[in-house]
Amino acid sequence: MKAWLFLWFSVGALCAEEAPVFFAMDTAARGQPADCAVWLSQLGYAGFGGRPATAKSFVPELSKHGIAFTNAYHVTKFSAENSEVPADVVQALNALEGVNTTLWLGIQQVSLPQGVKAGAAEGDAIAVPLLKKTLVLAKAKHVKISLYPHAGFWAESVETVLRLANAVDDPDLGVTFNLCHWLKVEGVERDPVPVIKAALPRLNFITINGADTGDTRHFGWERLIQPLGRGTYDVKAFVHHAQEAGYRGSFGFQGYGIKMDSQELLKVTMDGWKALWK
């Protein structure tokens, strides 16, 4: 009996340590659709995160190599003066019709007559109804939505986007955790694991990259976004702690602003990803 229990726990531990799905954002996979599809396939990436406007050109090429069009990034603004879904969001959803993907939605600004600071709950009165209306359109296009926290946006923190998603309370609206934006907004002093645990019921994606540790709130993106495997921040510990917390979704590589040849960047990062699981 003890031997069987040992075997069961051992197999469970091994399964928990298997590398999850890993995709690359178009900030790293920069090139023509056919070229990107080949690079991603050869290097072992499972998906690609792009944009609504280019989705239809990428999907056929990616499909040839079994690469998923994981999500499409778009930034919008909400205003108290407009109770309808912003035209740019409607256009983004129309572009994703039939792609069977997720719209990565960043809320850059929520405009109220009296003004509203980043993350302030007063903005929810505008954002929540508009997100509900957006979901009606998204469902008709078979598109899901994941809110994307971005430093400097009204919705810059994971807790802000989670608050919105909980208020909307729809299974087709989730949230994303972006490591580089967490470091910029929250700093290294704050433990991300409790926030990840709180977000688990809504958490669709986690994006990672190499980064430096230190006073990250004041770092430029060149130190907060590096090829995976570089930098002094312990990304391996972060990834494994996220999994230990219960996260079972995919991880994406953020390559914004990295001045490297795209193929080389993707190769170095895949090597870094594999090293996390040795």
Q: What percent of the chain has pLDDT over 70?
A: 91
Q: Is residue 110 part of a domain?
A: yes
Residue 138 pLDDT > 80: yes
Whichever domain contains 54, its CATH number is: 3.20.20.150
Q: Is residue 66 part of a domain?
A: yes
Q: Is residue 8 part of a domain?
A: no
Domains in the chain, number: 1
Q: pLDDT (tens digit, 9 = 90+) per residue, 222-231?
A: 999 999 999 9
Query: What's the pLDDT at 278?
Result: 82
Q: Is residue 264 part of a domain?
A: yes
Q: pLDDT (tens digit, 9 = 90+) per residue, 179-204?
A: 999 999 999 999 999 999 999 999 99
Residue 140 to residue 134: CA distance in whole angstroms: 10
Residue 104 to residue 97: CA distance in whole angstroms: 14
Query: Model-level pTM?
Result: 0.91
Q: Is residue 150 part of a domain?
A: yes
Paired strand residues for 105: 74, 147
Residue 1 pLDDT > 80: no
Q: Is residue 201 part of a domain?
A: yes
The boundaries of the domain holding residue 243 are 20-275
Query: What's the pLDDT at 2?
Result: 37
Residue 88 to residue 50: CA distance in whole angstroms: 16
Residue 64 to residue 271: CA distance in whole angstroms: 24
Distance of CA 79 to the CA centre of its chain: 24
Q: Is residue 190 part of a domain?
A: yes
The stretches of 206-249 forming alpha helices (DSSP H) are 221-224, 235-244
Residue 115 pLDDT > 90: no
Residue 65 to residue 48: CA distance in whole angstroms: 12
Q: Is residue 15 part of a domain?
A: no
Q: Which of 111, 191, 179 is nearest to 151 (CA)?
A: 179
What are the C-alpha distances in Å from 174 to residues 63, 72, 116, 214?
25, 14, 24, 30
Q: pLDDT (tens digit, 9 = 90+) per residue, 59-84?
A: 999 999 999 999 999 999 999 889 99
Q: How many helices (H) and strands (E) does the chain have?
A: 11, 8
pLDDT band at 31 (very low <50, low <70, confident <90, very high): very high
Residue 116 pLDDT > 70: no
Mean pLDDT within 207-215: 98
Q: pLDDT (tens digit, 9 = 90+) per residue, 88-105?
A: 999 999 999 999 999 999
